[in-house]
Amino acid sequence: MKQSYRKIMFMLMVVLIVGALSFSGYAWTPTPTVDPTPTPTVDAPSLDPNTIPKFVNQVEKPFVYVPTEIKDSYGCVIRREYTVSWAVTDMQVLPPGFPMTKVIAFGGLERPADDPCATPVFRRSVPGGTFELIRFLPTITHWRNEVTVPQFLPVDPTLDWANPNNFPPPCPPFLPFPPGYPQAQFPNANVIHTHGIEVRAQMDGTPDEWFTFNGITGPNFETRDYQWPVSNESSAFWYHDHAFGVTRLNVYSGMSGFHIVRDPQDPMDQPSSPLPTGKYEMPLVIQDKSFNKDGSLWYPRVGGVPNLHPYWRLMFDGQVNVVNGKVWPNMNVEPHQYRFRILNAANQRFYRWKLSNGMPFTVIGTDGGYRETPAVVNEIRQGVTERYDVLIDFSNLAVGTKVVLQNIEQLQPPLGPPPDPNTDGTVMQFTW
């Protein structure tokens, strides 16, 4: 059983890192974006993770998207509609005092998750905002690609990939990156897939349904406007880029976020539920990354077999853990039980969670929804794309206690070395 699980998860891992391996109702004009920072030079020095202070950043709870509600003649809401775009921008991922980081960020009309009365504003973020969906209330999401500048990570044109310009695969000797091949770097192909959600096939965001900001589309493209019946059971799902052959680059650049489905008929989602809500419920999007000294994302620029694929390599683990778009953040907690929706949004890394003081986790749900009975465990092993719904009780801690969420999973299991407790073995801190 264990070996079968590992084989299945390895296949999923490979699909994501290779980049999925290789009724629009109105007119739309993309908003031009300005390339905010230059692409790193060939000799951009990498940032030593040991020089990055931990727990300086404060974890941020993702905002939630605010929909337009469509009502029938009786005033009943029959559908929700969202418009969500993505574009290149700069964000403070490293602690204050370090340079900002170029990312691809989702954006839409949003409000703070715990303030339903707040005035919605347009904002971009990494990870993207959270879709809060009600079971059986249909939604339409209008996805809009506003990446009007070249991809800043190395697109390998020797792979089978989206290839918007139909650029013939180059032959060796290959150009170094940067600059790589301009015909491959621009325009950026994207399509959004919501992992685990029930949808019609043509609205699933499969790899060949990609589209660019300037109207080039993939061979299976049908629409940028996705209808969801929202028929899944109450659970957490996630959305991410899924374009053919470049998924790994776009997800690493920031293109991920949560879908949370709540069921008013499920006692666990009703106001009388014993589960923590509001400020005591926190989605955590966790990824591993590496950085250059100029703040840019470090990503391999030389392939594993460079005479065949100049930039692509199968295995890459970042040195730093990023939670909700912040490196090694701290979260101030109260003496209370918290609910964490944990997503492993890394390209290939497996995680195994453990709390530094030995406190247990109570697992109440996974990808498919609530468990029949909670499971109290001291460790949680989480593969790529998996979601866990977890309770942690801080009510018995003394004031001033600090608890670190650790990763104790070896790299590239079952063969790799253990993580470094000073870098990729540390995830975030809870402070009471």
Cα 52 to Cα 406: distance, rounded to the nearest angstrom:
17
CA distance 98 to 91: 11
Q: How many CA atoms are closer than 13 Å to the CA of 222, on its beta-carbon side? A: 11
Residue 328 CA to residue 321 CA, distance in Å, equals 6
Q: Are 286 and 59 in contact (CB under 8 A)?
A: no
The domain spans of the chain are 2-431
Instruction: Quote the CA–CA distance of 53 and 49 in Å, as a whole number.
Output: 9
Check residue 37 and give its pLDDT: 37
DSSP 8-state assignment for residue 417: P
Q: How confident is the model at residue 415 (pLDDT cuts 50, 70, 90)?
A: confident
For residue 209, the SS3 value is: helix
Q: Is the pLDDT of residue 1 over 70?
A: no
Averaged pLDDT, 330-343: 98
Closest CA to 89 of 115, 123, 55, 61: 123
Contact 107/54 with Cβ under 8 angstroms? no
Contact 60, 331 (CB under 8 A): no
SS3 content of the chain, % helix, strand, coil (to 5): 10, 35, 55
| Residue 44 near residue 293, CB atoms below 8 Å | yes
Q: What are phi and psi of 50, to 5 degrees?
A: -70, -10
Phi, psi (deg, nearest 5) at residue 172: -65, 155
The pLDDT of residue 72: 97
41 against 396, higher pLDDT: 396
Give CATH for domain 2-431: 2.60.40.420
Q: Is residue 131 predicted with pLDDT exceeding 70? A: yes
Rounded distance between C-alpha atoms, residue 320 and residue 224, angstroms? 34
Average pLDDT, integer, range 188-200: 96
- The DSSP H or E segment spanning 192 is strand 192-195
Q: Nearest to residue 145, comparing CAs of 90, 203, 198, 216?
A: 216
Q: What are the residues whose beta carbons fall under 8 Å from the beta carbon of 21, sequence distance 6 or more? A: 14, 15, 160, 207, 244, 245
What is the rounded distance in angstroms from the CA atom of residue 320 to the CA atom of residue 39?
21
pLDDT at 44: 63
Contact 267, 273 (CB under 8 A): yes
- Nearest 5°: phi and psi at 250? -70, -40
% of the chain exceeding 70 in pLDDT: 90
Q: What is the rounded average pLDDT of the residues 216-227? A: 98
| Number of residues that make up the chain | 432
Q: Could you tell me the CA-to-CA distances from 276 to 166, 219, 234, 266, 330 in Å, in that order?
A: 51, 45, 15, 15, 20
List pLDDT tens digits, range 223-254.
999 999 999 999 999 999 999 999 999 999 99
> What does the pLDDT look like over 285-303, one tens digit per residue?
999 999 999 999 999 999 9
Cβ contact 412:260 at 8 Å? no
Query: What span, in angstroms and rounded, lies between the C-alpha atoms of 417 and 421?
Result: 12
Q: Collapsing DSSP states into helix, strand and coil, what is residue 9?
A: helix
pTM of the model: 0.90
- Give the residue ranges of DSSP H helices in 188-271: 247-252
Confirm if 297 and 347 have CB atoms less than 8 A apart.
no
Sign of CA dihedral 334, 336, 341, 342: positive
Under DSSP, the state recorded for 130 is: B
Mean pLDDT of 270-284: 97
In the three-class reduction of DSSP (H, G, I as helix; E, B as strand; rest coil), residue 419 is classed as coil
CB burial of residue 234 (10 Å; 0-12, 13-18, 19+): buried
Give the up-direction half-sphere exposure of residue 272: CA atoms within 13 A in the CB hemisphere. Answer: 3
CA dist list (Å): 43 to 39, 152, 153, 268, 319? 11, 15, 15, 53, 19
- Supply the pLDDT for residue 45: 83
How far from 60 is each of 63, 92, 282, 375, CA to CA, in Å? 9, 12, 9, 27
DSSP at 172: S
Kindly report the average pLDDT of the chain as a whole number.
91
